A and B are shown apart, each in its own frame.
Chain A
């Protein structure tokens, strides 16, 4: 029986796509098409390139709580000439109470798949990552373990990565080093990394550089990765270049596309392949927001001033890459940038008694009401918060 890798590959790509994982919507559905080129095993045991078409349906759910966020995603894919594949991921992200520049992420994922190149089976993995974040950059250290079954044969993989990132205006850049050790021979053989058939453990050493331009909900990223694979006394090298982009078409609909090479990932069972994908993302829920769920970030309060009026204080938990601005009738709707106070971004505005309309935006995205204010429609398809100062 000839098995196809495209659906599984695409499913993994969507879930692993960092840009998709940062999407703000509480509930998002995505449907798309992909052209996938990968190596598969011929009946005579040799490997050859094969192109496949596939479609996918994916769901992403994000639930922000006061101090942490829960994320869940699942997807089903189906290729015209292949069987279906499915995957589910549950993860959390939470700041430390002693210093919210420290943030811990973790989660588990499970999948069932059928790969032309590397067998039928499933994968279960767990991962954790520790971040140190400022408003202009940060570092992370992560680790993961996985157990994979292919045609009733088990393999184990472990990995760790370390990275740094920084922001300069609308440009974001990151560099990382990753190390993986795996006994997943079918996967790495298909990728051309397991060049020593006698070896039982394979070591992968990766260096990756990413540059991304962001404007509100829109982004364009370019990634370059170099992998050195070691099996026994032999070593191989492979380079992967890929690009991905998100274009927010309306408040609810975005177009996403990717192109380039995806390296094999033993931790998630992801095979190496050339990808070309295009999909439409539709956001649902009470307030599908293109940049950041307002309830997750900004709050506003008034600190009374002697003699009447008060100081409007807008606080945003933004211990990451965000640029946050506040505007309102008090500033004639000219944006005022928040400045950092400890782990928060803060704006303070002295106001007299009266009623004010206030809105906050993140990374030049849509203007939203701070979470604890009464919300009103703004006549422009968005919203503003209103605040009455005694």
Chain B
């Protein structure tokens, strides 16, 4: 009985620490101070090990901390949080390999999110191959994730996005495609139809393949 009375304030302190940590929870954790307010000590330590392991592998850890915080906010059990964080760590590692040779942290996170909605791994490779290595594929990956989450077949969404990329679309064009589809779906259009119509619209803004072949400049890059 007395143990319970002692444990409660401790949990409150941990939660307060986490709240104070706010968006900087990742760096604070990296410094070796546990601020994850997971009540179950065994699970908390397991999550910390997963995050430390990811950090040692050079993977971004902020999404892992955010996933743990999401689990806490959603009142998930410690074990469920551990499983979720572990799964995300594996997706991050897989995404890094698929987006090789040198994906940024943001690209790895976007790739992992795409894998989470069941985008096949080879599609990540295809998106990476569709743009110069120096150009970020974060936006194409994010829009692909959103379109697939809306129920659009991954093949169809990928085809539209890679076609646009091949035609010289910028990240802003790709983002605009996602926003337009979202607005059309909100207005009642089927996601598939919205994607087709909007992709055609974006395409009309891009230089023709003949102009590209003649060396016309591509769209502005961010």
Contact = CB atoms under 8 A, between A and B. Distances in A.
A137 to B, nearest CB: 29
Contact of B176 (A366, A372, A390): A390
A374 B74 contact: no
B73 A333 contact: yes
B193 interface: no
A202 interface: no
Nearest to B74: A380
Contact of B69 (A332, A379, A387): A332
Contacts of B25: 332
Name the residue among B22, B84, B87, B178 with the largest chain A CB count within 10 angstroms: B178
B69 A380 contact: no
A106 B67 CA distance: 45
Nearest to B72: A333
Given A372-B182, A375-B149, A335 B71 contact: no
Contacts of B139: 388, 390
Interface stretch (B3-11, B140-148, B196-204, B205-213): B140-148
B110 interface: yes
B185 interface: yes
A221 interface: no
A234 B87 CA distance: 74
Interface in B67-81: 67, 69-74, 76, 80-81
A390 to B, nearest CB: 3
B93 interface: no
A302 B22 contact: no
**Residues of A in contact with B, size category:** 20 to 34
A235 interface: no
B66 interface: yes
B179 A355 contact: no
A374 B19 contact: no
A334 interface: yes
Name the residue among A301, A329, A382, A389 with the largest chain B CB count within 10 angstroms: A329
Interface string A357-390: 1010000001100001111111111101011111
Contacts of B185: 372
A329 to B, nearest CB: 5
B23 interface: yes
A66 to B, nearest CB: 11
B70 to A, nearest CB: 4
Given A332-B66, A376-B149, A380-B84, A355 B71 contact: no
A329 B66 contact: yes
Given A332-B25, A333-B70, A355-B113, A388 B149 contact: no
A359 B145 CA distance: 17
Contact of A386 (B67, B72, B80, B145): B145
Interface in B121-143: 138-139, 142-143
A381 B83 CA distance: 12
Name the residue among B73, B106, B179, B185 with the largest chain A CB count within 10 angstroms: B73
A353 interface: yes
Q: Which 8 A-B pairs have the closest CB atoms?
A: A390-B175, A374-B149, A379-B84, A355-B142, A380-B76, A333-B73, A333-B69, A333-B70
10 contacts: A301-B186, A357-B70, A372-B182, A374-B150, A375-B149, A379-B80, A380-B74, A380-B76, A390-B175, A390-B176
Interface of B: 19, 22-23, 25, 66-67, 69-74, 76, 80-81, 83-84, 87-88, 106, 110, 113, 116-117, 138-139, 142-143, 145-147, 149-150, 172, 175-176, 178-179, 182, 185-186
Interface of A: 299, 301-302, 327, 329, 332-335, 353-355, 357, 359, 366-367, 372-382, 384, 386-390
